[in-house]
Structure 1
Amino acid sequence: MNISVIGCGYLGAVHAACMAEIGHTVVGVDVDEEKVGLLSAGQAPFHEPDFEELLAKNVDAGRLRFTTDFAEVADSQVHFIGVGTPEAADGSADMTYMTSAVQSLLPHLGKAEGHSIVVGKSTVPVGTADSIEDAVVEAGGILIWNPEFLRESFAVQDTLRPDRLVYGVSKDEERAQVSQDILDEVYANIIGAGVVRLVMDFPTAELVKVSANSFLATKISFINAMAEICDATGADVTKLAEAIGMDDRIGKKFLRAGIGYGGGCLPKDTRAFQARTEQLGLHSLDFLTAINEINDRRRNHSAELAIEALGGDVAGKKIAVLGAAFKPNSDDMRNSPALDIAKTLADAGATVVVTDPAAGPVLQRKRPEITVAANAHDAINNSEVTLLLTEWDVFKNLDPTTLAPANKIIIDGRNALDPQVWKDAGWDYYGMGRS
């Protein structure tokens, strides 16, 4: 099928490459000329495992191209919208890019042979699909909502073999059936592999992503709240998490205490979801305020540990920060706990040296005022305290006996290290809720 993808950021670029990989002819549209130039050359503008290979392969094969010209989508039967919905000043979702994408797409609908369907993939406030459906229909299209559930560093896998497909369809039965049939054709290979498909109305589909992210944020902040209690009582949060995770009503995932969540989804989506419910006159999600407060406290806690370990004064002292991205196998530094902690320490007068396998070069280019080391050994050399803040394997697998700090103090912000290994090497080990 001929497919267009509107918005070629993280979501859209990965989706475009994956749709080409399963055999469709895809054109990606974005207003950023530099990004379009990189993608057209088969070069990834961000770090994501397996993505650049997939991108280059399908650009070279002629199944995938990128443009800034919306007119090039006219031959497409299916139009995916994957633009960003960043956080506005009041915490709500900024719909500027979504509104612009829809308005730019409307004049080109209905020109391809057969039905034209518009597929919303962006994370939007509930009620968005209902608010734009009439305009899409009047322009000759049919709207369906198909939210994304990408995990950064697993985005290709999550697109080609997701754990479920969600379709939000129109109240109009005929339009609902047509859009469902066409999207089934787009995803035929994926559905054929046994992926579950769930069909529901627009608002329910819009709620799935933000509900899932809010639940995950709640689970993460819960175990971090338990870490605070463990620190105060001498308990071990890792043993606690292991025990409660064996309850199949709870499960083990997202029960690792640490410095909290970051990135472009959980912080933004929880605040936007709460803002939307308040617009609806509801207080159902007031508890998310406390969830985000717990998350913020964990960042402060790690910085306070470092300051305390150095006698209350870090002025002029070298501190090594292992990690800049919000999670490993990514160069995404949006709302990164690691960078927040590094800034807090730098503001307290410390000489902070950051290293990160993927985000380091990006940080060096975009934030030249930050000292970036090529590797962990260079960052730790002559440092007074070391903080592990992003759990890259290269950091988790460090041999502490080969490192040369001025002081052997390690703060494990992700509870990713074996405390005994570091203690045996003469280091003072500080974990999160692991007294």
Structure 2
Amino acid sequence: MAELGHDVVGIDVDQHKVDELQAGRPPFFEPGFGEVLGRAVESGRLRFTTDMSEACDATVHFVAVGTPQTKGSYSADLTYVDAAVDGLLPFLSTGDLVVGKSTVPVGTAARLAELVEGAGSGATLAWNPEFLREGFAVQDTLSPDRFVYGVPSGDAGEAATAVLDEVYATALATGMPRLVTDYATAELVKVSANAFLATKISFINAMAEVAEATGADVTQLADAIGHDARIGRKFLNAGLGFGGGCLPKDIRAFRARGDELGLTDTLSFLGEVDAINLRRRERVVTLTRELLGDLAGRRVGVLGLAFKPNSDDVRDSPALDVVKKLLEAGAEVTAFDPEANGTAKRSFPELTTADNAEDAVRGADAVLVLTEWTEFRELDPERVGVLVAGKKVVDGRNCLDVGAWRAAGFEVRGLGRP
């Protein structure tokens, strides 16, 4: 927002995070974000604080806190959303707009709108879901593929739409699509988009299971069906499956909300989408065991810990889950990720990490590629062959040039490939 020319104050309860941001230091890895943050802070258009009263100077208030999975349940934990709105209420003025960005169960916006209206501040609530992809967040913020405004009916909705149009004027001027809906539709746009993407990924991973049973090649299958314009090739890469802080918890929360709405059968398919995804993790361990036999005492070099490349996010990371399963089976694991070593160690302190890919695979009986970072895709198999104790590779993301690795003497296993 500051990059677009707005004056912005970021408010958080974490003093350390606020201090780091105010110093221009990102608290997480995201390509290009450090540069944008530095420019914004230096320009004076962006500052950070823990003092909610600083919101008094703003007219648009974005609520962008997390909605994690509730412990012991599939439902979304709305504690932080509710706390943010409650904390904001005393500082709202007539004409202010509270804008929800968090991914929430359908019905949340209507409830919060009543809360905002009941406070008598004269402010209005809108719901404006975000569609940022980790690894592309800066690009997706400055130039998203669409805007969705969930607003109330009547004059209040028209006024809210006008304010959001002003906020996003730069992107809208390029012809960016804009959809104005009611609250419920805006909330459903985000969760249904994530549910569809998760379903597409799990579909191709189900086909990988069929391919393994029949000797087919799932990558060629994906290429073939991806040429159908109705299907498309994106999100048809079979492998270890999805993870991160969005898709897994969002499809579970969507299913839980369906149960609450009496739509258990309607969204029951999401349970199988989740199950297929989780089976891929166990399958990688099985493939490793097929290569090495008993895993106890065997040395495994793991390349990749983040749930996807260009991120340091290890929330519900399939790669980190595989590492844990290998350790439980008695394997000796050394892992490396270009950005996620630190975040992985914070959530899994007993993990052994290396400073680079070569050190991770040195002396390994098998190498597992679990995150498709470019540097792993471009590894020289001849060089790796000199370092390892055993020429065995599990390509958990189907991202390697299998022919080149086999030519270098490696036995290679992939998911859904002969």
Shorter-chain TM-score tier:
over 0.9
Deviations 1:87-117 (A, max 9, x none): 012100000000000000000000xxx6100
Q: 1:337-352 to 2 correspondence within 5 Å?
A: 337-352=318-333
Alpha-carbon distance between aligned partners in 2 of 1:427 and 1:49, rounded to the nearest angstrom:
33
Q: Does the aligned pair in 2 maintain the 1:151–1:158 contact within 8 Å?
A: yes
> Matched residue of 1:371: which SS?
coil
Deviations 1:313-359 (A, max 9, x none): 01111101100000000000000000000010001000001100000
Which residue is equivalent to 1:15? none
Q: How much does 1:362 deviate? A: 3.1
Q: How much does 1:365 deviate? A: 5.2
Which residue is equivalent to 2:400? 417
User: Paired residue for 2:166, among 185, 189, 197?
Assistant: 185
Q: How much does 1:364 deviate? A: 3.9
1:223 aligns with 2:204: yes
Alpha-carbon distance between aligned partners in 2 of 1:363 and 1:205, rounded to the nearest angstrom:
34
> Matched residue of 1:199: which SS?
strand
Which residue is equivalent to 2:99? 119
Which residue is equivalent to 1:308? 290
- Cα 1:127–1:364 change in 2 (3 A) is closer
> Matched residue of 1:74: which SS?
helix
Q: Does the aligned pair in 2 maintain the 1:363–1:372 contact within 8 Å?
A: no
In structure 1, the gaps of 5 or more residues are 1-18
Q: Does the aligned pair in 2 maintain the 1:307–1:314 contact within 8 Å?
A: yes
Deviations 1:193-220 (A, max 9, x none): 2211111110000000000000000000
Q: Does the aligned pair in 2 maintain the 1:77–1:115 contact within 8 Å?
A: yes
With structure 1 as the length reference, what TM-score do the two structures score?
A: 0.94
Q: Does the aligned pair in 1 maintain the 2:320–2:344 contact within 8 Å?
A: no
Which residue is equivalent to 1:102? 85
Alpha-carbon distance between aligned partners in 2 of 1:254 and 1:135, rounded to the nearest angstrom:
39
Deviations 1:111-146 (A, max 9, x none): xxx610011110000011111112212322111110
1:147 aligns with 2:129: yes
Which residue is equivalent to 1:233? 214
Matched residues, percent identical?
A: 57
Task: Give 1:128's aligned amino acid.
Answer: T
1:86 aligns with 2:103: no
1:42 aligns with 2:24: yes
Report the RMSD for the aligned CA atoms in angstroms. 0.9
> Matched residue of 2:17: which SS?
helix
Which residue is equivalent to 2:113? 133
> Matched residue of 2:2: which SS?
helix
Task: Give 1:142's aligned amino acid.
Answer: T
Deviations 1:2-54 (A, max 9, x none): xxxxxxxxxxxxxxxxx000000000000011111110100000000000110
Alpha-carbon distance between aligned partners in 2 of 1:377 and 1:400, rounded to the nearest angstrom:
11
1:408 aligns with 2:408: no
Q: How much does 1:369 deviate? A: 1.4
Deviations 1:37-93 (A, max 9, x none): 110100000000000110011111110000000000101010000010000121000
> Matched residue of 1:20: which SS?
coil
User: Paired residue for 2:360, among 379, 389, 404?
Assistant: 379
With structure 2 as the length reference, what TM-score do the two structures score?
A: 0.97
Deviations 1:273-316 (A, max 9, x none): 000011011121001111100001000000111012112x0111
1:294 aligns with 2:276: yes
Which residue is equivalent to 1:10? none
Which residue is equivalent to 1:29? 11
Moved over 6 A (4+): none
Q: What is the aligned residue count?
A: 412
Q: How much does 1:235 deviate? A: 0.3
Which residue is equivalent to 1:205? 186
